């Protein structure tokens, strides 16, 4: 028996922070048939608040360093302001969304990242996803909206990369569903030339991915994004797409598709 299709969408902070782009996102997400899950970031808003509070944001290899003060800020912004903003907008469209952090319903357990060469502070690496809990929500026609805040089961909140969170949820849910993962942001996909939106690399596999990195086409924060996307594919996800929100309702538009 064929599995039911599940659409998982990760939207970047550039979309969450822009009311015009966010309105376009909601237009397209409502055209998606069947159950869906939304995972959001919000790094720009968190960084802005950090600066207002006199805390200088710090990133290494595209990932945020989360000290104790930063953890408080990202929890307020991600699990509070932005999460509830998205949920309220979906409710206005008649979509019964429910906002979640990893601590809610013990849905996502993680551990504090082990220090190897870089100390990322209270960054969380995921240990388990509560598939049954999410599945039960989907059965009641609810749309889970995940902020990238997880917990360790011992009372400690952790900041988990939203791209990674989306990939791990997608992989875990592939046990019950035919999962398709979308990374939506403000570019048309992976670009050969960051200044040319028409230079989309439409298909990337594990072999040309290495070549594109060596050529310097894929650099900085795009590397961990694609690394986690390929992990999702090896973890059972059927398809991964990257591009503008328009691809949610029309995947024939130019974008990047990943394959093994």
Concatenated DSSP letters of 194-233:
TT-TT-B--EE-HHHHHHHHHTTSS-TTHHHHHHHHHHHH
Mean pLDDT of 189-216: 93
* % of the chain surpassing 90 pLDDT: 87
Mean pLDDT of 97-112: 98
| Digit-coded pLDDT (tens) for 242-260 | 999 999 999 999 999 999 8
Mean pLDDT of 151-166: 97
The confidence score (pLDDT) of residue 1 equals 77
Q: Which residues contact 215 (CB under 8 A, 6 or more apart)?
A: none
According to CATH, what is the number of the domain 4-258? Answer: 3.40.1160.10
Residue 59 has pLDDT above 90, yes or no: no
Residue 43 has pLDDT above 90, yes or no: no
Q: Which residues contact 155 (CB under 8 A, 6 or more apart)?
A: none
Q: How far is CA 226 from the centre of its chain?
A: 12
DSSP H or E segment with residue 143: strand 143-146
Mean pLDDT of 173-195: 95
Mean pLDDT of 132-151: 98
Which of 53-57, 74-78, 132-136 comes out lowest in average pLDDT? 53-57
The confidence score (pLDDT) of residue 192 equals 93
DSSP H or E segment with residue 98: strand 97-100
Q: Which residues contact 188 (CB under 8 A, 6 or more apart)?
A: 197, 198, 200, 243, 244, 254, 255
The confidence score (pLDDT) of residue 221 equals 80
Q: Where are the domains of the chain?
A: 4-258
pTM of the full structure: 0.95
């Amino acid at each position: 028996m064929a599995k039911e299709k599940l659409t998982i969408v990760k939207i970047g902070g550039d979309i969450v922070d822009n009311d015009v782009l966010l309105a376009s996102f909601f237009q397209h997400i409502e055209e998606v048939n069947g159950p869906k899950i939304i995972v959001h970031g919000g790094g720009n808003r968190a960084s802005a608040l950090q600066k207002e509070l006199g805390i200088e944001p710090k990133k290494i290899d595209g990932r945020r360093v989360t000290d104790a003060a930063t953890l408080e800020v990202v929890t307020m912004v991600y699990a509070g302001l932005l999460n509830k903003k998205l949920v309220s907008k979906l409710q206005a469209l008649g979509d019964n969304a429910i906002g979640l952090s990893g601590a809610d319903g013990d849905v996502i357990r993680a551990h504090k990242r082990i220090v190897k060469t870089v100390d990322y502070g209270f960054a969380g690496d995921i240990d388990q996803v509560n598939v049954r809990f999410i599945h039960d929500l989907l059965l009641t026609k609810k749309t889970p909206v995940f902020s990238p805040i997880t917990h360790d089961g011992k009372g400690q909140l952790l900041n988990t990369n939203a791209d990674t969170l989306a990939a791990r949820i997608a992989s875990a849910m592939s046990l019950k569903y035919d999962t398709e993962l979308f990374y939506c942001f403000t570019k048309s996909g992976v670009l050969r030339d960051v200044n040319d939106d028409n230079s989309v690399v439409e298909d990337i596999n594990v072999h040309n991915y290495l070549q594109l990195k060596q050529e310097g086409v894929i650099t900085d924060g795009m590397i961990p994004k694609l690394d986690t996307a390929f992990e999702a594919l090896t973890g059972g996800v059927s398809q991964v797409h990257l591009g503008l929100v328009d691809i949610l309702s029309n995947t024939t538009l130019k974008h990047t598709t990943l394959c093994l």
